[in-house]
Amino acid sequence: MAAAAPDTWGYSGQSRALFSVGARGRMEVLALERFRSPGKGSGLRACRRVRPGELLYRAEPFAYVVTKERLGGVCERCLRRNEHLHRCSQCKVAKYCGKSCQKEAWLDHKQECRCLKSIKPNFPPDSVRLAGRIVFKLLRQSVCLSERLYSFSDLQTNIEQLSEEMKDALRHLAQTLQLYLKTEIQDASYLPPAIDFFQIFTKLTISYTESLMPTSERQKQLMRQYCFECDCLLCQNQEKDAEKLAGEEHAWKEVKNAVNEVRYPKSKEEWEKVLARCRNLLSSYKGRLPDTNIYQLKMLDCAMDACINLESWEEALYYGNRTLEPYRLYYPGFHPLRAVQLMRVGKLQYSQDMFPQALETLKQEEFNRRKKQKCHMKSDDLNKSQAKSISDISVARNQQHHRQYQQV
């Protein structure tokens, strides 16, 4: 996921509450307000009491693209995985679920389509393709709901804090972007001052690092990508670092390397190879690596994904059950990743005719309290096609947990 950084909610004024237009046109005060924190940049904070699991804000990203690794496997519009996608007849790169998704995506794809055709057989880096979509959207001055929180121009670059090496790399990307857009923008000097190719790349980077990393690695990544030193309680206390790297060091280092080598498979044969590798390592280090070790946990997740894609429901459930305790440890309270994992395990239990266990899993306090504002869990809710239900949960988890597409 590519997002603005380091001041994700960049706004240079004093704190200000956010408003939205309700279903009947009335103005409603949202639960958030923007504010400036000296030395730490901009942010969002709650301006009223919020309930655990309450949805505070939802909007589509300003721009996003499917990564080169996932091209052809998911729809360019809705990002759902589909084996029968229809490709764009012009660029033959973008693929969609059907006419509906293609029509919705056309405004963002129209100019990009001609650019992709013009550089064949080459293909732009993911960040360049994303930046291209941003440029086109800024030029046509499209209204995006996500800009209620902040606009692209609000984002800070922190260019002064970047190393010369990083600046050189960004200049190279800016030149690549200019060549990529040449079909649509012959002379970049005629662009509005607000659209600067180099500045655009200083506002794009990966998402804030996930908490499922040792403190030292998180700190290094945040400093390099966002130019600030985090002093949150998790970093100050180095909480759970011991559990994250528990077990024999040489064992978790090998598992770490194996996990990092995995790329998203696109065929049954590739999934089978991934599963075989996971089985071998999990068996080799049985009793030497606890499931709370973060790399062991990622390996279990990987094995679970492989089994789901190969429709090996029983084995997938075995790996899924092993992840629940580590998920509870690292994602406490009402964390969405834990909720999704509970859903997946519950669906797998149902596929094995373990109906009471499935219902109990889905009704666990954290998950139930997260969902009870929207719906009440009933037994009939589970009466759906087993394979389709589990596949849908796998897609949801892939979209939320791995975030293999880039977005702003």
Predicted confidence at residue 194, as pLDDT, reads 60
Dist. CA 172–CA 168, nearest whole Å:
6
The sheet with strand 41-46 has its strands ordered as 16-21, 27-37, 41-46
Dist. CA 160–CA 59, nearest whole Å:
31
Residue range 75-96: mean pLDDT, rounded: 92
* Type and span of the H or E element at 271: helix 268-284
> Which residues are bridge partners to 43 per DSSP?
35
Predicted confidence at residue 122, as pLDDT, reads 92
Tell me the whole-structure pTM to 2 decimals: 0.62
Dist. CA 73–CA 83, nearest whole Å:
7
- Residue with more model confidence, 61 or 392: 61
Predicted confidence at residue 39, as pLDDT, reads 66
pLDDT band at 287 (very low <50, low <70, confident <90, very high): very high
Residue range 303-317: mean pLDDT, rounded: 95
Residue range 26-48: mean pLDDT, rounded: 71
pLDDT above 50: residue 62? yes
Work out the mean pLDDT of the chain and round it to a whole number.
78
Predicted confidence at residue 40, as pLDDT, reads 66
pLDDT band at 201 (very low <50, low <70, confident <90, very high): low
Biggest CA–CA distance in the chain, Å, is: 66
Answer whether 65's CB lies under 8 Å from 129's CB: yes
CB atoms within 10 A of CB 367: 21
Q: What is the pLDDT of residues 99-134, one digit of tens each?
A: 999 999 999 999 999 999 999 999 999 999 999 999
Least confident of 44-58, 174-188, 355-369, 377-391: 377-391
